[in-house]
Amino acid sequence: MKRLLALALLMLFAVQSIAADSEQEQLKRSIIKIYTTAAAPDYFNPWALLNPQQLSGSGAVISGERILTNAHVVANGSYIQVQRHGDAQKFRARVQFVSHEADLALLTVEDESFFEGTRPLALGKLPELQEEVTVYGYPMGGKSLSITRGVLSRVEHQYYAHADSYLMAGQIDAAINPGNSGGPVISNGRIVGVAMQTNHSQGAENLGYFVPPSVIEHVLEDAVDGVQQGFPELGAVTQSMESPAMKAEAGLSDDEEGALVVKVFADTPAAEVLKPGDVLLAVDGYPIASDRTVEWRENQRTNYHYAVDLHHVGDTLPVRFSRHGEIHKAQITLAAPPPSRSLVLSEQYDQRPRYYIYGGVVFVPLNMNLIKRWGNNWHSKAPIDYLYARNQWSDTKHRELVVALKVLPAAVNLGYHDWKNWIIDSVNGQPVPDFDTFARLMESNQQPFVDLRDEAGYRMVLDAAAAREQQPMILQTYHIPQRHSQGLFSTLAQKDSGD
């Protein structure tokens, strides 16, 4: 009898082991390797592309015959292919939806047979701290699937490396190497994150970060109608109130906490509710501590923007705030943020640079794409004026900065051949609020000279007739196909079509 029982137990364990192996193999089948040919624009020569790069990443099959991966895996991709675990064949894929802000993208495959034999992985809940998770992906250095285990060690807001956005992120004590990006973080057979970066700063080793379920769910919901709205903004800038003197001056009692409102953007619905000097006490029912954090899970805290990030554009957000010691409650309708609140537009992908050439001078808007062309050490190598502008807010008078990037030497620009990276403040005395306005001012000029000045009063004067006359020769000499970026504005496009 004992032998029969032992035999039955052995058979049961064998069946369970076979079932587990089968489940594991089925899961592996849903982990995808992604090959991307990326041709990024050259912001030093905005009419040209940099040499194409061959990149690889990872992804996972989810519902709707889609592949979930990182946005940076397919950014600026001109040709994308995908490959299943254990298969030699590669299939052509395209981007269906992308959120560079959340570093997430959804791919579709032209050949529907690609998904045969795969099972879409479901999204799960974020595990508790110290729970084990598994990262699947295809790191550089080999073609086979890699499986790495680690424990969830931290969950809080972080700056995402791809677009410098500030969102919730999970941290695990396992290295996420190049090529692993976009691979799923799995717990109990469900996706609980998307691997996105490795932190090599300050001597940190064997640490990896991933996009958590709350951010993934937001992007998947945003993708339903195919219109990318992103994460809404509250419309207010705050600072911590850990100083007892600051709390007392704002009219808070010793046991009251909150975040001090230091700026409210005039073009947001928040301007109808909040004022500088108010103290934000709670958002969507989450009490805000003096360090601007909320308890999003028992004994776990993160920035109060977590409560905002759970919502979508057009949702109403309940807020509680103090003004001169009096408590108020209100509803704020969340709006889509502009491309940038800074004078320097954040890094953009999947689009060509804007530029305008006049008299051999190449003019561009200042943005992070240009600044990062100085390489990994752009923080110290980029022009100091560019770096300083990153800390300035844009407004109606200055929405973006215009730069004379460089001069293509010609007779018309004699005396300025060594000018570069020069920020322009006015055209013939007219202030320059943004790049499109600048181009229109230049194109519509009827004066014999174009007088460009910077904020300090330094000038560049160009002969308008000579600029028009020499323009074709300058473009031909320097092998430039167009004197401005495509679609800069309709009047220029129409004028060029008649040239």
- For domain 356-497, the question of CATH label 3.20.190.20 is answered with yes
The predicted structure's pLDDT at residue 117: 86
Q: Output the pLDDT for position 179.
A: 80
Which of the residues are catalytic? Answer: 72, 103, 181
Across the chain, mean pLDDT equals 91
397 CB-near residues (< 8 Å, 6+ apart): 431, 433
Q: Given this model, what pLDDT does residue 205 score?
A: 58
Amino acid of residue 315? D
Report which of residues 26 and 107 the model is more confident about: 107
pLDDT average, residue stretch 14-31: 68
Count H helices, E strands: the chain?
Answer: 11, 28
Q: What would the pLDDT profile of 235-269 be if each residue is shown by its tens digit? A: 999 999 999 999 999 999 888 999 999 999 999 99
- Domain parsing of the chain, residue ranges: 26-228, 236-333, 356-497
CATH architecture of 26-228: Beta Barrel (2.40)
- Give the lowest-confidence range in 197-206, 376-385, 465-474: 197-206
Homologous superfamily (CATH) for 236-333: PDZ domain (2.30.42.10)
Instruction: Identify whether the C-beta of residue 106 lies closer than 8 Å to the C-beta of residue 148.
Output: no
Over range 179-203, report the average pLDDT. 82
- Whether residue 498 has pLDDT greater than 50: no
Query: pLDDT band at residue 324, thresholds of 50, 70 and 90?
Result: very high
pLDDT value for 22 = 65
Per-residue model confidence as pLDDT tens digits over 403-457? 999 999 999 999 999 999 999 999 999 999 999 999 999 999 999 999 999 999 9
> Please, what sign has the CA dihedral across residues 170, 176, 178, 183?
negative
Distance CA 474, CA 357 (A): 10
Residue 16 banded pLDDT, cuts 50, 70, 90: very low
Burial of 403 (0-12, 13-18, 19+ CB in 10 A): buried
